Amino acid sequence: MKSVRQLISLAVAGLLLAGGSCVGQQIDPSIARQIAAIRAVDNHAHPVLAPPLEKTDKEFDALPASSLEPQSDPVALRPDFPLLGAAWKALYGFDTPPPLDADGIARLNAARARVKAQQGEHYPAWVLDQARIGTMLANRVAMGAGVEPPRFLWVPYADALLFPLDNSGMASVSPDRKQFFALEDLVRSRYLKEVGASIPPPTLREYLEHVVRPTLERQKAGGAVAEKFEVAYLRSFDFSDPPRAEVETIYARWVGHGEPDAAEYKLLQDFLFRYTAMECGRLGMAIHLHGMAGAGSYFSIAGVNPLLLESLFNDPRLRKTNFVLLHGGWPYVREIGALLQKPNVYLDISSQDFIIPPHTEAQWLREWLEFEPEKVLFGTDGYPYSDELGWPESTWIANRNARQGLGIALTGMLRDGEINRKRAGELARMVLRGNAEALYKF
């Protein structure tokens, strides 16, 4: 039996999903109700710690670059994005349309503060409740107050393990990479300190055995269900498979000895990525890869083409490692869809469902569901973007869009006779939580 309160919240969720708009007319009402009732597993987001720690929390991202050179911001990241107003109203009862002036931001913060005072340490879990998210995978350097199991499960960062040499050459490629490698060097120092070292050891064998493996094992023991790579912000996906002996020589030649030769350093990174992925398979942790045109005006969109990863997916030594390509691969939505036929490849729709409106996303979401429905995961990429757009707002908007996009895709399949209503409900549950439960063995 559902309580009256649960029934009301389901009805509200159903209305929100339908939206009373042309989107609503595109979604079959029974499918909308089924989607609205599902408590989701969010495969990827960056929740911020509970108040008062939220003000100083910087561990929601290993690369929290807030001062990149300007890019042409997508519509969803602009201060006048209309859905911001819907999110503020739903979350805080704040009913002023965007954009906000300084006074408007102050009033919004006062409305937020009232909810935070009521919720205290429960505030991050309260945010999940507003989006009917049961469990969120928290991509953070470390967990903390209010962002803890069972509602939040940890996904730490592994990029720093790939770059044990002098990174000044890597950093000189662009102004963005200059910032990113400075931040990555900090994470590397932290990982070294945690294994009792201050600098990388002199041989590759020692580096693997005394730094890489213990770091992954410690994170696994700390509750990590996956390791995240933001490597697409740092270099391209074209990982080769060099022989270990060659890489041992390269490591010993350059570690602690100044800026390495770029081609040799690439081989070392390639080897370390494959080694780390193998270790994650051994430890039962999935690999999460940022997999979409990323933030910043210098991001290499060519370098994030998921087809560049095919040799990894086809490596028999990596068949025990599950790879989850985050953010639906945009603009490579067809390429990423084809890769789902690899037994160890999954995708999630995080970020994409925030940046791209539901009707547009539903087109390729439908293709993926027609092809490999067990491999598609829901996610939001909730993230503290700006004063107006905090992690609660981006989580709320992405969740709304994802459920609408899923509703449009499933309704299209129903109307074209590809599935019946029962199967539509099953597919909705798989995307919103079942596929994640199977992948992570919850």
Report in angstroms how near the CB of residue 44 gets to Zn ion at its nearest.
Answer: 6
Closer residue to Zn ion in complex, CB, 155/268: 155
**CB-neighbour burial class of residue 47 (10 A; exposed 0-12, middle 13-18, buried 19+):** buried
Question: Which residue lies nearest Zn ion, judged by its C-beta?
Answer: 381
Rounded least distance, CB 352 to Zn ion, Å: 11
Return the number of the residue (54 or 230) whose C-beta is nearest Zn ion.
230
Nearest distance from C-beta of residue 87 to Zn ion, angstroms: 18
Residue 250 CB, shortest distance to Zn ion, in Å, is 31
When the beta carbons of 322 and 395 are compared against Zn ion, the nearer one is 395
Residue 436 exposure: Cα atoms within 13 Å on the Cβ side = 26
* Interface contacts to Zn ion, rule CB under 5 A: 381
Smallest distance, Zn ion to C-beta of residue 381, A: 4
Please state the closest distance from residue 358 (CB atom) to Zn ion, in A: 20
Q: Is 110 exposed, middle or buried (0-12, 13-18, 19+ CB in 10 A)?
A: exposed
In the bound state with Zn ion, the residue whose beta carbon lies nearer, of 279 and 381, is: 381
Is 353 or 381 the residue whose CB approaches Zn ion more closely?
381
CB of 399 to Zn ion, least distance (A): 15
Task: For Zn ion, give the closer residue by CB, 381 or 393.
Answer: 381
Q: Which is nearer to Zn ion, 233 or 275 (CB)?
A: 233
